[in-house]
Amino acid sequence: MNQVLKRFSLFVAALAAAGCGSSAPVTKQPVDQNLLLAAEPADAVEVLDAKDQAKNGDPVVIVGRLGGGVKPWVDGRAAFLLVDTRILPACKQGEKCDENCPSCAEAMLQACTMVKFLDGSGKVRPVDARDLLGVKEEQTVVVRGVASRDKAGNLSVAAEKIFVRR
């Protein structure tokens, strides 16, 4: 595995693990309608723009694609990777972009952020985002929440609501 793929894998693992340390059992639940926005917010910014502009604690509204060549899900948790929609889901060679392609992996590393739906104690909810939100890979969504920066400056979003484009 080359260095870009290692960095990407470590980045995804670190973001996925953040706040996911609960030993509570994972439960399957119906879609939580209280987390869904009825209308798309007009003030959404792309993931790369949010990564450049958002400060820790800022309210944010971000638009992005769920995955797009990388597995976006944290299985059994209400968390996922959101990728800037301007990053094409296809590689220069015309193949589907994925984490096994060094140029695609580097683009994904730069253009993604972790989105987490937290419970009342600040832990990632122990229910799969696909069930909780009724979302699927490659859908475009708009997330409203609060920006969080780790010590390395990586952006994640503590999400409050989501709009799913149909």
What's phi and psi for 129, nearest 5 deg? -55, -35
Mean pLDDT of 71-87: 92
What structural domains and CATH numbers belong to the chain?
3-19+29-164 (2.40.50.140)
68 compared with 39, residue with greater pLDDT: 39
115 residue type, one letter: V
pLDDT band at residue 30, thresholds of 50, 70 and 90?
Answer: confident
- CB of 67 within 8 A of CB of 137? yes
Q: How far apart are the first and last CA of the chain?
A: 36
State pLDDT tens for residues 96-122: 565 566 666 677 778 999 999 999 999
User: What tokens were used for 135?
Assistant: 């979302």
**pTM for this entry:** 0.80
pLDDT at 166 > cutoff 80: yes
